[in-house]
Amino acid sequence: MYKTLSPGAIGIRGLSLADSVALAARSGFGGLDFSIEQAAQLAEASGVEGVKALFDEAGIRYGAWGLPVRWQGDETDWQADLEKLPRYAALAAELGADRTSTWCPSSSDTRAFDENYAWHISRFQPIAAALAEHGIRFGIEFLGPQTLRPAHKHVFIYDMAGMLELTAALGTDNVGLLLDAWHLYTSGGAVDDLDSISNADIVNVHVNDAPRGLQMHEYIDNDRRLPLETGVLPLREFMQKLAQLEYDGPVTPEPFSARLNAMNDDLQAARITAESMNQLWGLAGLVQGNRVKNYLLQQ
């Protein structure tokens, strides 16, 4: 496992790829979740070797890249993006950046469950197939909070078991979970649920914490906390389970923190976030360092 920065997850917008890499390195992260579109633009200007050099010289590993497909959009937008996906996937494969992910809404205004299931299969299958052609793994995130499933909407998949059924139904071997500790918790899941999966089921991971003093039905998706800020989520046990599974991918903090978002200093926000990750690694008994495989330390 390695600690990965996603600038947007801590309220930092508008950075170039070079600036994002530099921010990750200066703040102490070992990896970067990045835009494959930005990487493609740099590759056009400087070649693929220029993109590789940008990451390598900073000592930054590739995290997950955001899926550049408007799969929830209308037929025109979705098909246009799908046509471009093989080019992006080929670039990612050449870089060695073999993980991409997206999220899946847990309710629908218009489609009942069975219709919605079939619709998602019809959208996700072509994406998964295009990515599989280039050896790219595809993670799909379930959304746990009950507030995303109001009574007037049709409920869809919102937990780990349901999402694993969907990924299996796609019929390719490259699809798994974007596993978020927040969504596992707010879906009513537990850390022990991870005993039923393996490293092969996890494409990338998000970590965060939750506000204190709320009932399960009160959690709002965009109101979270930095890892270990409140101690509501069982992050120590979550990380130890990942270590036991020998999970080998990126772990990205996604706190959606109003405090961080209000900061005018990007480096300070990133360093505060990195320190929360260092504390999490220490609490879980994980080997510090991002260039080596992390295992539980012997107690």
Task: Write down the pLDDT at residue 298.
Answer: 30
d(CA 27, CA 6): 12
Give residue-wise pLDDT tens across range 117-171: 999 999 999 999 999 999 999 999 999 999 999 999 999 999 999 999 999 999 9
φ, ψ for residue 84, nearest 5 deg: -85, -20
Q: Strand pairing partners for 177?
A: 140, 202
User: Is the model's pLDDT at 216 over the cut of 50?
Assistant: yes
pTM value is 0.94
Q: What angle do CA 86, 46, 292 make, to 5 degrees?
A: 75
Task: Write down the pLDDT at residue 288.
Answer: 65
Give residue-wise pLDDT tens across range 40-96: 999 999 999 999 999 999 999 999 999 999 999 999 999 999 999 999 999 999 999
Cβ count within 10 A of residue 272: 18
- Cα distances (angstroms) measured from residue 143 to each of 104, 158, 159: 7, 5, 7
User: Is the model's pLDDT at 109 over the cut of 70?
Assistant: yes
92 burial (CB, 10 Å; 0-12 / 13-18 / 19+) is buried
